[in-house]
Structure 1
Amino acid sequence: MDSFIGVRFKKETAKRFQEFSRTHFKSHTEAMSSMLDFFFYNEISPKETFGPTGRTIEASLKKRINAVIAIMRDMEKTQTKPTVAMMELLFQNEDLTQNPSHSSMNFKEEKKEVRFKEKLNLNNEL
């Protein structure tokens, strides 16, 4: 049987360790051994910080995603919708000109009206 040794901890720290140990390990010895192995094999100190946490990364990603959404909405309002509206108007006008009843009447009316007359310039012909 292994022998035990007493280590002194503050009461609050000892309670935190006991709760952690009970939830993740079978015994307190196994918990302490695993934690020490983790720091030893990964060559890190418990006092080091690993950088941004998952929550801070998630928050910054959400901000960037919201910014991209705002840019896309602005593009839709200022570029896409007006362009679609112009394209629809063009196609509506094209449909009217392709309709034979309307286009033949418009063409006949246009032939009757002469908007510009050719002007003879006698000075240029000499």
Structure 2
Amino acid sequence: MDKGYEKELFQSLSIKSSVAKKFKKYCKSISKSQSMTLLLMLEFFDENGLSPEDDLKPNLKATENLFKKRINTLIAIIKDIEKTQTKPTLAMLQALFMVDEPKKKPLLLEKKRFKKEVKNHFGEKSGIDLKNESEV
């Protein structure tokens, strides 16, 4: 029995036998009783403001266009958020966490004085400064 309708009486409807066969087959396919199937159909038409004679194609096209507009609007909003918030924030975070190594400057080394070995007249070796070489 149908829940909520157990105590109600049945009434008969006069419908063609071919229509009754199709209706019974449809009721079995959705696993509902005939009363509940007919009730669901009537509620569907009432809630959606449709008539069985209406053509749904224009209605569906209008709904599809509405969805497309809303989706395009959402895409535009997400792109704007990405441009104005996400990318700048990401750049700032990368700048904070990216530690650039300081440029390596050449080390200032102490100038060394090179000594040049010069033979003097007696065959001995002596160290002479290059800077002081002109004095010798």
Structure in which a larger fraction of residues adopt strand? 2
| TM-score, scaled to structure 1 | 0.40
Structure in which a larger fraction of residues adopt helix? 1
Q: Which has the higher contact order (CA 8 A, sep 6+)?
A: 2
Larger radius of gyration: 2
